[in-house]
Structures are given as C-alpha cells and as structure tokens.
Amino acid sequence: MTLFRLTWDYLTTGSNWTGSGGLLDRLGEQLLLTVTALIVAMLIGLPIALWLGHVGRGGFLAINISNVGRAIPTFALLAVLVTADWPGSGELGPYGRAGLATLIALGLFALPPLITNAYVAVREVPADAKEAADGMGMSGSQKFWRVELPLALPLVMSGVRLALVQVWATATIAALVAGPGVGRIIVDGFARNLYSQGMAAAIVVAAAALVLEVGAAALQRAVDPVPRQTTRKRGRAMSAAGPTL
Amino acid sequence: MTLLAAASSVRQAEDGPSCYSALVNEWWCAQYVQDRRDEIFDATTEHLSITVAAIVFGLVIAFPLALLARRLPRFESLILGVSTGIYTIPSLALLPLMVPFTGLSATTVVIGLGLYALTVLVRAMLDGFRAVPADVVESATGLGYGPTRLLFKIELPLALPVLMAGLRVATVSTVALTTVGTLVAYGGLGNLISHGVQRDFRAELVTAGVLCVLIALLLDGVLVVLQLFLTPWSRAAQT
C-alpha cells in the first residue's frame, strides 16, 4: 500500500523530526505537559486521597469521582476551556498554544485515577495489620507512615500509572482544539489530506505511550517494597475498574 | 398589516440579538437548541449508533477471546498484555492507525472504540468467570450439565454482576470517546464540539458536551435496569 510507504518516508525524513513544530519539538512539548500536569495532580490529589483513606471518610466521593471523570468527554472540557475568556488559547511559555487550558484539562483528568486508587489502597490495608499497629502503641501518624503507606504503595503506584496513560492520551487530544503536542501533527495531517503525516505522528504517539507505560511498570517494580506476588494479584483486581482515555 | 409588521419588529428589537449570536455568544442558549434541533438530533443519533455499534463489536469479539483465554493460561497472559497495550495508545493515535484498513468512515471509529471496549470487557469476563464458585460448577457437572449448558445456564449468569460492571465502564467511556471520531468526520456530537471550537460558538459546544454526559448517564441507567432484570435472584436476596 502506498500509504504505508509514504508514512515510512515521512518517518525516515530527518527534516520532519527536527526544527520548530517538528516531531521532536512536539514530542518534547507533550512530555513537558504530561510531566507537569501529573506532578501537579499528584501533589493535590494524593495527600487528600491518602488522608481520606486514613480517616476512612469520603469514600463515596473518592470512588465516584472516577465514574464522573469517565463520563465527561476530554474533548468537550478542552473545548470549553479554550473558548472561555480564561484560560483561553493564549501561548504559555514552553507549553505552547492553549498551554494553560491544556494543563488544566490534563490535571483534572489525572485526578480521578489517582484519588480512587490511593483511597482504595489505604482502605484495603488488612485490618489486622492496623490492629497490630494500634496494639504496638503507634500514634495515628506513625500508623499511617509505617504501616498503611508502605502496604498501600503498590496500588497507589498503579493509580499513578493509570493517570500517566490518561494524561498522555489527553495531551494528544489537546490538538483537536489546536493545542500543543504531537497530536497537532496528526490533526494537521488529516485536515490537509496528508494522511501519511497523520499516520506517522500517530505511530510516534502510540510508541511513546507504550514506552511510558513499560517504563512506569518497570519503575513500579523497582521501588515496590512488598513482594511481587501480592502486587500482581492486586493489580489485576483493580483492572476491572479500568482506565479512561 | 403594516401595524403588525411594525409590532413584530419592535418585539425583535426588545429581545435584542439571539443569545447565540456572535455578539452575545452565551454558554447556554435554549434558542439555539430550538433552532438547530435537526442538526443536534442527527448528531445525537450518529453518536448513539457509533457507541452502540462499538460496544456490540467489543462484546462479540471479547466473548470468544475470554473463553479461549480461560482454557489456555498462556493465551490469557498474551491477551491481557495486548489489551493493556491497546489501552495505552491514545484514541487520537489509534484512529489514524485504522485508516489504511477502513478509510475515513464510521467503521474506523466503531472498530477503534470497539478495541478499547474489548480490553475492558475481556478482563471483566475473565474476572467474572473466576468469581464463579468452584463447588457450584462441580455440582452442576455432577447433575450432568455438559460444557455448553454449564456455560450458559450456570457460569454466565453467576459471572453477570462482574461482567455488567465492566460493561458499564466500557459503555460510559465509549460515549465520551466517540467525540474523538471527529478526526475522521464521524464523531457524532464531537463534530458539533469541533465546529463550535473553530467558530468560537459557545452554545454549540456546550450543548453537545452536555448531551454526551446525558447519553452516558442514560446508557448507564439502562444497563443497571437490564442487570436487575437479568439477575432476579439478587433482587430477591436484597428484599
């Protein structure tokens, strides 16, 4: 098929990668967006969710926020943010056109998986472990830092992984509102009937997503304080809840 | 006659420009919904049919895959690995990758979204089958149930609650994802959102976005009712 050949040509032409608005430029932009949004969402979401899990309150909210997040189309939220007077579609330093609107949307869509998983993780710490901590005379904060957090960490981390996948996907969709990121090259290609360009950028985005996911999984295993057997089982149990893109 | 015309022009002046004119550009405008109801209705119909087709496609493929994975453990880890991989790919990248095979058509969107639904559904089915108590299966076998009858009469009904939970997740996210189909011009309400962004038309994109959420809630409600209907024993147990 000629489309495949043209796509290959696009990917193997150096000038498509370098320069302003090239693949590398956009890839860097999207990575920067993803990392910034994920860190901000973690700083906001994780303390709240872990605290809620620790005191055992707000479960309804923590669980249902994921369902609400799934029902709201990323594209619609981005559209509203970009069309509004604030944040609008203005340039934001290295984040590109509509940078602020994109960052807000990315952060909002990263929150549900982070909050739900962190909350469930702390709630699922075995009751006898908590009881043993009480019996040893640990204070509330000691119990949290020494017992609950280490045991909850694997599930919290899978929430972070879900959020990462989610943020990367959302960052790609930002292009539909003429935002930053590699998605811009895809949308441009489709708008100008240059399907090979759209395909090539799509392959780059997909490959980057897989690399991020595999890297995050490896990192998760490396920092996991609990034996792997239990984490695998728990990871699968959570999978039914499913991520959203 | 002239009097009537004058009166109506006065009334128009009092109303001012309609709330969706470019001068006012309000976020919510009932006049817009009324004036463009045909366009909105068509987009909603397209949205619903793409969503339903994608879910049905996902279900039809997921079922045999789940059955196969249950038999062959090695195949199971392969399926789970591939489905995680598919789920990792952003929707805006998956659709272009379908284009060489299906062109710029609704089929592209249906298959692309069906693949996402598939990954959730296969997992839900496997989890559901795993939740069937082993002694129930054993008793059924003892009563002379063959593999097919066992599957449809015993295992599937008992796996239904977990399966339906997965189906609800898949359905709600597919409704939201359908909007991205606007990339190949088949996005249902996503087309309205896209047009709204290009023309800075607030009422249009907000109406379309709200309709998306309403469709998601509606389909979710339908599935909840369907589940109550399909598992009458759980209702009896509750009362």
CATH of the domain at B216: 1.10.3720.10
Confidence class of residue A233 from pLDDT cuts 50, 70 and 90?
A: very low
Specify the pLDDT at position A115: 94
Is residue B166 a part of any domain in this protein? yes
Ranking A107-116, A168-177, B15-24 by mean pLDDT, the lowest is B15-24
Is residue A168 a part of any domain in this protein? yes
- Tens-place pLDDT, residues A125-141: 999 999 999 999 999 99
Specify the pLDDT at position B15: 58
Q: For residue B90, is the peptide bond before it cis, meaning its omega torsion is within 30 degrees of 0?
A: no
Specify the pLDDT at position B238: 57
Dihedral angle, C-alpha B232, B236, B238, B239, nearest 10 °: 140
Is residue B79 a part of any domain in this protein? yes
- The answer to whether residue A47 scores a pLDDT higher than 80 is yes
Specify the pLDDT at position B165: 93
Per residue of chain B (239 residues), what is the pLDDT tens digit? 455 555 544 444 455 678 888 878 888 888 888 889 999 999 999 999 999 999 999 999 999 999 999 989 889 999 988 988 898 999 999 999 998 899 889 999 999 999 999 999 999 999 999 999 999 999 999 999 999 999 999 999 999 999 999 999 999 999 999 999 999 999 999 999 999 998 889 999 999 999 999 999 999 999 999 999 998 887 766 55
Whats the size of chain A, residue-wise?
245
Specify the pLDDT at position A223: 77
DSSP A97: B
A173/B92 touch (CB, cutoff 8 Å), yes or no: yes
Is residue B25 a part of any domain in this protein? no
- Residue A209: which of B89, B127, B184 has the nearest Cβ? B89
Tokens encoding A108: 């909002």
How many angstroms separate the first and last alpha carbons of chain B?
69
pTM of the model: 0.87
- The answer to whether residue A116 scores a pLDDT higher than 50 is yes
The percent of residues in chain A predicted with pLDDT above 90, rounded, is 56
Query: Helices A149-173 and A99-123, interaxial angle, to 10°?
Result: 150
- Burial code (b: 16+ CB inside 10 Å, e: under 16) for B88-118 equals bbbbbbbbbbbbbebebebbbbbbbbbbbbb
Whats the size of chain B, residue-wise?
239
- Alpha carbon of A3: minimum distance to chain B alpha carbons (Å): 7
C-alpha–C-alpha distance, residues A163 and A166, integer Å: 5
Domain that holds residue B61: 47-230
Closest alpha carbon within chain A to B164: A240
Is residue B92 a part of any domain in this protein? yes
Is residue B109 a part of any domain in this protein? yes
B88 part of contact set with chain A, CB < 8 Å: yes
Is residue A245 a part of any domain in this protein? no
- Residue A243: which of B87, B96, B193 has the nearest Cβ? B87
Tokens 């090695």 belong to residue: B74
Specify the pLDDT at position A225: 64
Is residue B238 a part of any domain in this protein? no
Query: Chain A neighbours among B 12-71 (CB < 8 Å)?
Result: none
- Tens-place pLDDT, residues B173-204: 999 999 999 999 999 999 999 999 988 899 99
Specify the pLDDT at position A239: 38
Is residue A45 a part of any domain in this protein? yes
Domain tally for chain A?
1
Contacts of B158 (CB under 8 A, 6+ apart): B128, B131, B132, B133, B136
User: What residues in B contact A83, CB-CB < 8 Å?
Assistant: 196-197, 200, 202, 205
pLDDT, average across residues A29-52: 94
Closest alpha carbon within chain A to B28: A80
- Residue B190: which of A75, A77, A237 has the nearest Cβ? A75
Is residue A244 a part of any domain in this protein? no
B183 part of contact set with chain A, CB < 8 Å: yes
Is residue B51 a part of any domain in this protein? yes
B83 part of contact set with chain A, CB < 8 Å: no
User: What residues in B contact A73, CB-CB < 8 Å?
Assistant: 175-177, 179, 190, 193, 209, 212-213
On average, the pLDDT of chain A sits at 86
8 A C-beta contact, residue A208 and residue A217: no
Specify the pLDDT at position A221: 84
Q: What is the 3-state secondary structure (H, E, C) of chain B?
A: CHHHHHHHHHHHHHHCCCCCCCCCCCCCCHHHHHHCHHHHHHHHHHHHHHHHHHHHHHHHHHHHHHHHHHHCHHHHHHHHHHHHHHHHCCHHHHHHHHHHHHCCCHHHHHHHHHHHHHHHHHHHHHHHHHCCCHHHHHHHHHCCCCHHHHHHHHHHHHHHHHHHHHHHHHHHHHHHHHHHHHHHCCCCHHHHHHHHHHHCCHHHHHHHHHHHHHHHHHHHHHHHHHHHHHCHHHHHHHC
Domain tally for chain B?
1
The neighbour count for residue B6, using CB atoms within 10 Å, is: 10
Residue A133's nearest CA partner among A122, A121, A123, A148 is A148
Domain that holds residue A215: 2-239
Tokens encoding A97: 């056109």
Query: Chain B neighbours among A 77-106 (CB < 8 Å)?
Result: 77, 79-80, 82-83
- The answer to whether residue A124 scores a pLDDT higher than 70 is yes
pLDDT, average across residues A230-235: 44
Confidence class of residue A21 from pLDDT cuts 50, 70 and 90?
A: confident
A215 part of contact set with chain B, CB < 8 Å: no
Contacts of A137 (CB under 8 A, 6+ apart): none
Phi-psi region of A139 (alpha: psi -120 to 50; beta: other; left: phi over 0): beta
8 A C-beta contact, residue B62 and residue B125: yes
Tokens 């939970």 belong to residue: B165
More confident site: B194 or A85 = B194
